[in-house]
Amino acid sequence: MTWKKQSQNTIRLEDTKLKDIQSTMQSGASIRLLKNQKLGFAYTRSLNNAEELVQNALESLRGGVDVKFDLPLTRTVPTLNTYDDNITQTTNTAIVNECRRIFAFLEQKTKGQVNIYARTTISRMRILNTAGTNLSANASFFSMTIMILYPGSATGIDQSFAFKAFQRVDESDLSMLAELYNQGEKELETSGGRLKVLFMPEAMHALIWRLQSATSGESLYHKQSPLTNRLGERVFNEKLTIVDDPLEDTRPGARAFDDEGVACKRHVIVDKGVLKNYYYDLNYAAKLNVEPTGHGFKTSRWAGDTISMKPTPALQYITFERGKKPFRQLIHEMDKGIIVCGALGAHSGNIPNGDFSIGLSPGLYVENGEIVGRIKDAMIAGNIYEVMKRVIGIEDTIYPAYTGYYPAVLFEDINVATKG
């Protein structure tokens, strides 16, 4: 049985104006029943009638969903620092005032429209099962995304920040954001070709999605992965080490156990370009006769109600090992190329096979090591098992971004198509 409770405040400001404040609180429980290798599942938003919840799960057993796994007995897990009590002292007024400070600072640096989205979250969960597992966790989270929009478009330069409690955004980060925006103000039409391409952290999910698919126990079981039976092989450039690390509690949201009660651990997916591990939940580990890796999470790439979801294999804490080069040095190493600041259509292409075809939203153009503007109507395409062998350099700083924590990564010889 899994119980979760979450309270959340969201604040949205556009062009210095407060547009929306929402406060929500949700709680609920879900239950999985195993009987004669059949699975029953039910969930509820209220535990006032626990008997009804159990009855609904018993009814779902009649659906005949076959399973081979047993519920785990997890007695001990690492103690993680996931909750900062200061989050309870954070008021909406304090967050709005911080946003206004950011607006005032950026107004001195750029003419672009600035939008800010901020959120505080407090979550509590508990997992119990008849095998004897009884685990609980609390977490606090403060995040802020700042975007500077280009005129007449919905695209711009953005950066996200994530903490366990309210913090002011450093002015050096704001200055870098404004500088990058200003350098891309001029809209260009240019020819495409095989170019150097720098993926920013905000666009890295377009590549990582393919790796997540290929290394999942679900893909292996359904024979959809091009990485089947390839552990120990070099699949990427030796500069790339990719890890799923839910125990890294210097970042918000760390987890000592997954949504099935299996203990989490640092899990290396790719080590210096060599494929080291796949990942599994209870279900697919049992189907493939391997041990679960603590990756059974109630999650979806698209927004959804996690209480109503069943656990599936998921890399929730993926990150790259940082490189050795400052961001500006990576740009200086581009004689001619593109900076992908955002990916439009990351779902396009044959994801299980590693193919991608994305629009640049936006894409900055580099000549002789300098950003000279942004490209109009451009896209890039390729396959990660070719592209990620062509790494020139990796940034020395890691940033929070969609689906993980990433540095900027510079690749060479990538197909870029434009209307120019």
Domain CATH code at residue 57: 3.30.2290.10
Helix ranges, 224-339 (H): 282-287, 327-332
Global model pTM greater than 0.85: yes
To which residue do tokens 């672009």 refer?
A: 112
Task: Strands of 150-294 (E only): list them.
Answer: 156-163, 187-188, 193-199, 242-244, 267-271, 274-275
Those residues whose C-beta lies under 8 Å from the C-beta of residue 165, and which sit 6 or more positions away, are 84, 86, 87, 90, 140, 142
Task: Count how many domains the chain has.
Answer: 1
Q: How far is CA 316 from CA 79, 182, 243, 258, 319, in A?
A: 19, 34, 11, 10, 10
Q: Are 311 and 260 in contact (CB under 8 A)?
A: yes
pLDDT at 196: 97
Identify which of 105, 101, 158 has the alpha carbon closest to the alpha carbon of residue 402. Answer: 158
Q: Is the pLDDT of residue 7 over 80?
A: yes
Q: Is the pLDDT of residue 255 over 90?
A: yes
pLDDT at 191: 86
Instruction: Tell me the pairing of strands 363-367 and 336-340.
Output: antiparallel
Residue 210 lies in a domain: no
Residue 134 lies in a domain: yes
pLDDT at 89: 94
- In tens, the pLDDT along 292-308 reads 999 999 997 666 788 89
pLDDT at 303: 65
- CA dist 140 and 159 (Å) reads 20
The predicted model gives 116-125 an average pLDDT of: 98
Q: Are 74 and 135 in contact (CB under 8 A)?
A: yes
- In tens, the pLDDT along 304-360 reads 788 899 999 999 999 999 999 999 999 999 999 999 999 999 898 899 999 999 999
Residue 418 lies in a domain: no
Residue 25 lies in a domain: yes
Q: Is the pLDDT of residue 142 over 90?
A: yes
Q: Are 358 and 379 in contact (CB under 8 A)?
A: yes
Residue numbers of the domain that contains 154: 2-182
- CA dist 279 and 57 (Å) reads 28
The predicted model gives 98-110 an average pLDDT of: 97
Identify which of 185, 202, 229 has the alpha carbon closest to the alpha carbon of residue 372. Answer: 185
Residue 204 lies in a domain: no
- In tens, the pLDDT along 40-73 reads 999 999 878 888 999 999 999 998 899 999 999 9
Percent of the chain with pLDDT over 70: 99
pLDDT at 124: 97
pLDDT at 418: 87
Least confident among 63-67, 165-169, 283-287: 63-67
| Band of pLDDT at residue 420, cut at 50, 70 and 90 | low
Identify which of 120, 81, 130 has the alpha carbon closest to the alpha carbon of residue 98. Answer: 120
Residue 276 lies in a domain: no
Residue 18 lies in a domain: yes
Q: Are 339 and 373 in contact (CB under 8 A)?
A: no
Residue 8 lies in a domain: yes
The predicted model gives 180-207 an average pLDDT of: 95
Q: With the C-alpha atoms ordered 127, 128, 131, 135, is the resulting torsion angle positive or negative?
A: positive
